[in-house]
Structure 1
């Protein structure tokens, strides 16, 4: 199964290593849940009549919702299950195109950096470049995600 990965400790990650998520269709429920959780009821995302008269001609996902979907894909692969200590941020993030309701999206990942941290014997830094595309291979999100990942206890 190409989409089922085992948890990875810091030592299991190598620069150039790739991962691919499963696909997922974005629904109206996702839009509503994000709005409710974030308290962001901007009409471009929640008012069909208003959004039809705007630039995209329909409701589109919130930018932060697009980011949250991307992080969810990383975690869904299982590679960080019980090994991630922290999400440390991003050096860059770009949302070049909107996510539309009923888009089917997925995420490609490439490990671009692994680094020991002098202040931590139990964990290291792993940076993963991510690219999320829709069913037409249109890029809807790009960014690098920095994680603090546990080292394998057997190596300590």
Structure 2
């Protein structure tokens, strides 16, 4: 599915929310194998019983990757991911937690070197089934302008 949207079409405050996704033990084990992160916080249930959280926690990078994937939808040929800023892991995610993601357009700005593009900032918030915040970050999009901005040229 394609959804054509130029920089000018993005509205500050536009908000969307995903359906839920339960993080499974298989997710954690597969992510450990893909990344080589076999730290006991993720893999050793008995050791985790002696720690503050009392149980295994999912990798932060797993939750980040899953959450961003959950926000992926229609392809916009005028935009591409430009990166992520201010990524924070707020609370742990446990096996069998169900996460949802809220994405809100919070900023639009000129690109410092490309007058024909702007940067759209989408704040990403990940919640568990208790609506506790787990992860936050800013997703930056590089978005083509319908027309070159006079402000961007100076």
TM bracket (short chain):
0.7 to 0.9
Q: Do residues 102 (structure 1) and 99 (structure 2) align?
A: no
Q: Do residues 48 (structure 1) and 45 (structure 2) align?
A: yes
Instruction: Give structure 2 stretches of 5+ with no counterpart.
Output: 149-154
**Match for residue 23 of structure 2 among 9, 23, 26:** 26
Deviation at 1:6, TM superposition (A): 4.6
Cα deviation code 1:51-75 (max 9, x no counterpart): 1221111110112222222222222
Normalization by structure 2: what TM-score? 0.82
* Aligned-CA RMSD value: 2.4
Larger radius of gyration: 2
Cα separation, partners in 2 of 1:8 and 1:29, compared to 1, 3 Å:
farther
User: For this pair of structures, how many residues does the alignment match?
Assistant: 148
**Match for residue 70 of structure 2 among 68, 73, 76:** 73
> 1:130, 1:60 → 2: CA distance?
21
SS at match of 2:12: coil
**Match for residue 147 of structure 1 among 136, 141, 149:** 141
> 1:118, 1:44 → 2: CA distance?
41
Cα deviation code 1:85-125 (max 9, x no counterpart): 233221x1221211111111001111011223253355321
Instruction: Give structure 1 stretches of 5+ with no counterpart.
Output: none
